[in-house]
A and B are shown apart, each in its own frame.
Chain A
């Protein structure tokens, strides 16, 4: 009887150990953003110079998404240059599994052709897309992106667009998993990409 109880207890303990081994994940030093903070994200379809671009067609790739515009005097070039430098530090195998989408927050002025020329300047892996103002607004909302036109007399075209300058990270399964702050240095970009690229 005692033996049985002991065996039963031992069995329980063994099950507990197996359970812990399977389900307990020690906290990583750099936690992903808490779910409450992270926006929903999700799929979208917009227009590029070479036709429609749908996020859902990038399943299996890690996708960086940046919201900006081609008349952007300083913010976008700063961010895009840093991110592009990071992309250049990846191995060819890694780069083949990474994509980047530059979403225009200035659909009035940004044509697909203009966007293509702009993003190519930074890195060939970046595709520039735009859509109707309503379409862009809806996507920006889902990603938690703010943007607003500001009248500046000296700006080309009479206005600049203030916008959130984070780069969003969409995992190969399409989930929005994180974001990089404006002008994150190239080596940090590489760390962030590898972290999500190599997750099982």
Chain B
């Protein structure tokens, strides 16, 4: 018992030194947007916080529901919104990456089985140091997410 607590203490002590990216990352409010019927794809959104003092990169995401999982972003090209894959999502030390509709997101392509509201999709994020983190994202009906500078001001 004593040895165990000693072990735990030493583990904690070394955590800051030896921790992989995944250990320093916390994920908030993960959700999957319920796709319209027949839709071949949908997105997963979350806030990924990097609590460590080293920059980390999410290089891959996986989930069992869709055949393909990609990291995506949006480019607004003169009112034409373009969705494009990105090689990684970078999160600065003590920073965060906000994955939200109209911005960065995890794209779930070719959904194998239709999802319904309330389902939980386990999403595995892989980091550039090889560590991984599983996030359980609930399926929710699309609600509008506010976007910065959404209104066009023409003067």
Contacts of B83 in A (CB 8 A): 73-75, 160
User: Once bound together, how far apart are the Cα atoms of A188 and B150, in whole Å?
Assistant: 9
- Residues of chain B from 132 to 155 with CB closer than 8 A to chain A in the complex: 142-147, 150-155
User: Once bound together, how far apart are the Cα atoms of A76 and B33, in whole Å?
Assistant: 12
Over the window 56-88 of chain A, the binary record of Cβ atoms lying under 8 Å from chain B Cβ atoms (1 yes, 0 no) is 000000000000001101110110111011100
B interface size (C-beta, 8 A): 40
User: Once bound together, how far apart are the Cα atoms of A163 and B74, in whole Å?
Assistant: 12
Q: Is A162 among interface residues, defined by CB-CB distance under 8 A?
A: yes
How many residue pairs, one in A and one in B, have C-beta atoms under 8 Å apart?
Answer: 128
Most buried by A among B33, B42, B147: B147
Among A154, A163, A183, point to the contact of B101 (Cβ < 8 A): A183
Interface size class of chain A, counting residues whose CB lies under 8 Å from the partner chain:
35 or more
A-B contacts, 24 listed (Cβ < 8 Å): A70-B36, A70-B39, A73-B43, A74-B42, A74-B72, A74-B107, A77-B39, A81-B142, A81-B143, A84-B144, A118-B36, A121-B36, A154-B70, A156-B110, A165-B79, A165-B81, A179-B152, A182-B79, A182-B81, A182-B147, A183-B101, A184-B150, A185-B146, A185-B150
B149 to chain A: closest residue by CB: A181
Contact B39 A118 (CB under 8 A): yes
Over the window 43-64 of chain B, the binary record of Cβ atoms lying under 8 Å from chain A Cβ atoms (1 yes, 0 no) is 1000000000000000000000
Contact A82 B72 (CB under 8 A): no
User: Once bound together, how far apart are the Cα atoms of A85 and B154, in whole Å?
Assistant: 25
Smallest CB–CB gap between A33 and chain B, Å?
Answer: 5
Contacts of B105 in A (CB 8 A): 74
